[in-house]
């Protein structure tokens, strides 16, 4: 029998970790002379108080869903993919090339083509670190970090020297054609009689991200490939004994991970900016690591964690706008969440396990 029930592992441990992170964050806010209760109220109203606020929260959550799922898939094969940032950048390049140079008459066709392009560019950018890990033993953490820098340099060169319109000064592509513009939640909900802010950037990509959650669950727990990925993650020796090729599974898992990270571009590049700009990813690739850790690498957990980080991002922006609390404090709060849900997980888990063991012993005596 397990030391504690599954619900406690999935819900109780993250909740206690979050509570500890919130208490420490409140102490930090108190230390800089601000009222933590007022700060929480402002964050809640700024992130959830209107459809405009919800639109931004869901927009950020969509980004984190894609990158969180990307990290989670790699984790199941015991691969630590830190390259989501670079893979999302290259995914944006794929979206930009498709939208600018292909004749796409309607947003539905443009969306399908953009998904394929962004996934292909992201997967190909993950292929080289995967190959180096599988065939040469190069550590995936080191290679994916380096590939983030290479992706940034490559994108900078392409935007400045190739894709920038001749009359423009900023390193960005031209605006995508009108037929490729994705409908926002306002456009999708208006026919149903539901009023939603027109200015909010949340768009149809949210539905694609939710579909990706389901597909990842289907892949990992209901297919042979998912079983092989999990088997490799649990024991490479055991996987080899069962006839699983570690090189093949490593490459496939990393390419799926890269494809998911690349698909983030349909939300921020195609759905929001409607052009490719430098720093379009805005750190979402790294936040995906925290989202996957907090979500226990399960798609449903990743969804909840992405919503939480979307709330922190949008609420933190409002906090920085309307108070003297610096925006950097939100980074501190995120770091505390990551610290308690990742590095200090055992500090929370072990006492809770002891409580459940004590309860079980009490029942048996």
3-state secondary structure of 172: strand
What are the backbone angles phi and psi of residue 182, rounded to the nearest 5°? Answer: -85, 145
Lowest-confidence range among 132-141, 239-248, 263-272, 331-340?
Answer: 331-340
Q: How far apart are CA 282 and CA 264, in angstroms?
A: 11
Q: How far apart are CA 365 and CA 309, in angstroms?
A: 44
What is the reported pLDDT for 221? 95
pLDDT at 317 over 90: no
Residue of 132, 126, 133 whose CA lies nearest to 255: 126
Instruction: Please name every residue paired with 155 in a beta bridge, in sequence order, or none if there are none.
Output: none
What is the reported pLDDT for 1? 47
**Residue with the larger pLDDT of the pair 130 and 11:** 130
11-59 confidence digits (pLDDT tens): 788 788 888 888 888 888 888 888 888 888 888 899 999 999 999 999 9
CB atoms within 10 A of CB 356: 15
What is the reported pLDDT for 10? 73
Whole-Å CA distances, 58 to 5, 31, 62, 71: 31, 31, 6, 20
Token code pair at residue 231: 């088997």
Angle at 348 between CA 345 and CA 353, to 5 degrees: 110
What are the backbone angles phi and psi of residue 203, rounded to the nearest 5°? Answer: -140, -170
**Any residues with CB less than 8 A from the CB of 246 and at least 6 apart, and which?**
134, 232, 236, 239, 240
Whole-Å CA distances, 363 to 5, 310, 350, 357, 359: 15, 42, 20, 10, 6
pTM above 0.85, yes or no: yes
pLDDT at 73 over 90: yes
Instruction: Please name every residue paired with 184 in a beta bridge, in sequence order, or none if there are none.
Output: 203
265-278 confidence digits (pLDDT tens): 999 999 999 999 98
Instruction: Give the number of C-alpha atoms closer than 13 A to the C-alpha of residue 277, restricted to the C-beta side.
Output: 16
What is the reported pLDDT for 84? 94
Residue of 188, 171, 149 whose CA lies nearest to 271: 188
3-state secondary structure of 103: coil
**Residue with the larger pLDDT of the pair 89 and 137:** 89
pLDDT at 151 over 90: yes
Q: How far apart are CA 289 and CA 75, in angstroms?
A: 10
Tell me the average pLDDT across 160-179. Answer: 92
Lowest-confidence range among 32-36, 133-137, 165-169, 359-363?
Answer: 359-363
Q: How far apart are CA 315 and CA 321, in angstroms?
A: 10
Tell me the average pLDDT across 201-208. Answer: 96
- pLDDT band at residue 2, thresholds of 50, 70 and 90? low
Lowest-confidence range among 148-157, 262-271, 307-316?
Answer: 307-316
Q: Is 286 exposed, middle or buried (0-12, 13-18, 19+ CB in 10 A)?
A: middle
Residue of 258, 229, 226 whose CA lies nearest to 245: 229
What is the reported pLDDT for 336? 80
């Amino acid at each position: 029998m397990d030391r504690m029930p599954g619900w406690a592992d999935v819900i109780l441990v993250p909740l206690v970790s979050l509570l500890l992170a919130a208490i420490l964050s409140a102490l930090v806010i108190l230390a800089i002379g601000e009222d933590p209760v007022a700060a929480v109220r402002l964050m809640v109203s700024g992130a959830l108080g209107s459809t405009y606020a919800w639109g931004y929260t869901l927009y950020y959550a969509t980004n984190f869903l894609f990158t969180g799922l990307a990290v989670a898939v790699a984790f199941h094969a015991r691969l630590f993919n830190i390259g989501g940032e670079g893979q999302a950048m290259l995914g944006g390049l794929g979206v930009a090339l498709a939208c600018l140079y292909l004749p796409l008459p309607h947003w539905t066709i443009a969306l399908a083509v953009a998904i394929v392009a962004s996934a292909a560019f992201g997967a190909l950018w993950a292929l080289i670190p995967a190959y180096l890990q599988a065939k040469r033993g190069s550590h995936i953490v080191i290679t994916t970090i380096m590939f983030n820098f290479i992706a940034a340099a490559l994108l900078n060169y392409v935007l400045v020297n190739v894709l920038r319109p001749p009359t423009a000064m900023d390193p960005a592509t031209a605006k995508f054609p009108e037929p490729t513009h994705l409908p926002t939640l306002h456009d999708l909900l208006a026919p149903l009689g539901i009023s939603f802010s027109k200015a909010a950037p949340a768009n149809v990509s949210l539905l694609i991200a939710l579909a990706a959650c389901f597909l990842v669950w289907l892949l990992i727990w209901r297919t042979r490939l998912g079983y092989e990925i999990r088997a490799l993650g649990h024991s490479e020796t055991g996987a080899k004994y069962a006839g699983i090729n570690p090189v093949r599974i490593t490459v496939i898992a990393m390419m799926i991970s890269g494809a998911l990270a690349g698909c983030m571009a349909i939300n921020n590049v195609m759905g929001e900016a409607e052009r490719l700009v430098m720093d379009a990813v805005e750190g979402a690739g790294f936040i995906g690591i925290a989202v996957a850790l907090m979500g226990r690498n399960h798609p449903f957990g990743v969804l909840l964690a992405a919503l939480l980080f979307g709330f922190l991002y949008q609420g933190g922006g409002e906090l920085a706008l309307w108070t003297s609390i610096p925006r950097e404090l939100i980074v501190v709060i995120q770091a505390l969440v990551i610290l308690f849900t990742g590095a200090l997980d055992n500090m929370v888990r072990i006492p809770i396990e002891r409580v459940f063991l004590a309860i079980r012993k009490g029942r048996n005596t």
